[in-house]
Structure 1
Amino acid sequence: MSFLRSIWVMYWRQLLRFWRLKSRVLGSVITPVIWLVFFGMGWSSLFNSPMASRLFGGLDYITFLAPGILMMSVFTASFVSGVSVILDKERGFMKELLVAPASRAGSIVGRSLGDATTAIVQGLLILALSLPLASGIKLGGIPLAAVSAFLVGLTFSGVGIFLALRIRSMEGFQVIMNLIMLPLLFLSGAFFPIDGLPGWMKVLSLVNPMTYGVDLARWSLVGV
C-alpha cells in the first residue's frame, strides 16, 4: 500500500472510530462547555469592573476565555488520541498493522491527521456554543482560529501518539498525559494573561507551543 493510500485509510478509520463512539462525542463537548459556563461566568462576576477588564484587553472575562476554551478542547482531544493507540496495542491491531503491506509512516501521519480533524470539529462546536455568552467574538476571525486549532491539534496528536507507542499500559499513559497536559494548559494563557506571571513561569509560557496557538486564536477572534 502506498504512502498516500496508507494516510487516507488510517485518516478515515480515525474519523469513523470517533463518530461511532457517541459517548466520547458527547463528553468531548460537555466538558469544555461546563468550563466555559461555570468557570467563565463564575469569574466574570469578579472581573466586571473597568480596572479588571483592562487585564483582559478591555474584554469581559468570558469573551477573553472563549478562545482559550476552544484551544483547550482541541489540545485535550488531540493529546488524548494516544489512548486509541494503547487500545490498538492491547487488542492486537498494532501487530497486524506492522505486518500489513502498508507504509508505517503513512499510517502514523493518517492517524495524526484524523485525530487533529476530530479535535478541530469539537473545538469549532464549542466555539459555536460559546457565541451566546461571548458577545465580542468576531465571526470573520474563525478561519484563522481554525488554522491555529488544526496546527495545535496536529502537533499534540503527534505527541500523544509518540508517547503511546512507547508506553505499555493505559494507566502509565494517563499519568504521563496528565503530567504534561496540565502545565502546558495552565501556562498557555488560555485562562489568564501570562503577563502577570512570575518570571520563571513566564519563561516556561514562552517556550510552550500552546501559548502561541492560544494567542493566535484569541487575536483572530477577539482582537487581543
Structure 2
Amino acid sequence: MSTSSGRTSRRAWGTLSRARIVDAALRIARDEGMRALTIRRLASDLGASRMALYRHVADKDELVALVLDAIAEHEVVPPGIGEGPWDRRLRLLAATIRRELAAFPGLAEIVTTRTHHGPGALRTVELILEALAEAGLDDRQTARYYLVFLDLVLGRVQRELHGDVAGIHRDASLDATDRQPGDHPRLDAAEPHLRAITADEIFDTELDMLVHAIAHAAHR
C-alpha cells in the first residue's frame, strides 16, 4: 500500500485478514513465482508489519500451505465438475492441474515434494477418485489408477518445465550427424510430424491411453 510520495503506508488496524493475505500471496506467486513469496515481501505489498501477518499466519510453511489450498480449491476444480461422464471429468481435472502448475513458477516442485494436503487439495483428490470409481473400477483398481493419473499429470508438467526426455531423444535422432538420406526411411517419413507434434497433443494422447486402460480394466 503506497502513498502519493512513494512511501509505504501502514494498513489500518483490523483491515488485514487471512483472505486478504492469501489473495496477495497468490498474486506474488503467479507473477514472480513461489520463491518470491516471503513474509517480508508479503508484508511490504500489504502495507503491514510482519508481526501483523504473524497474527494470521504462523510462518512461511503455513503461508505456502494456504496458497496451495487456494489454488486447488478455486483454480484447479472447474465449474460443473460434478456433471457429465467420468472420462470428461478426469480429463478436465488433468488439464486444470497441468495449467495451474505451469501458471505458478516453482509450484510443481513444491507439490511433488510436499506431504500434507489441505481441504482444497483433498477435494481434488476426492473428485479424481470419484471419477475413477464411476468408471466401474473396484477399490484397488481405483487406488491404482489414481496413482497412475498423478504420475502422468505431474510427470508431464515436470518434463515440460525441466526438459522432456522424449524431446531430447527426438532431436538427437533428427539432428544426428551420421544420419544419411535414405538410410532410415521410417525416420525420414516421421520427421515432419516429429517436429510438429506439440506438448498438448502428447498430453492428450497420454490421457487417451489412460482412459482406454481404465475402461478396459473396468470391463474386465
- Fold shared, TM-score > 0.5 on shorter chain: no
Instruction: Give me the TM-score of the superposition, normalised by structure 1.
Output: 0.39
The higher relative CO (CA closer than 8 Å, separation ≥ 6) is in 1
Instruction: Give me the TM-score of the superposition, normalised by structure 2.
Output: 0.40
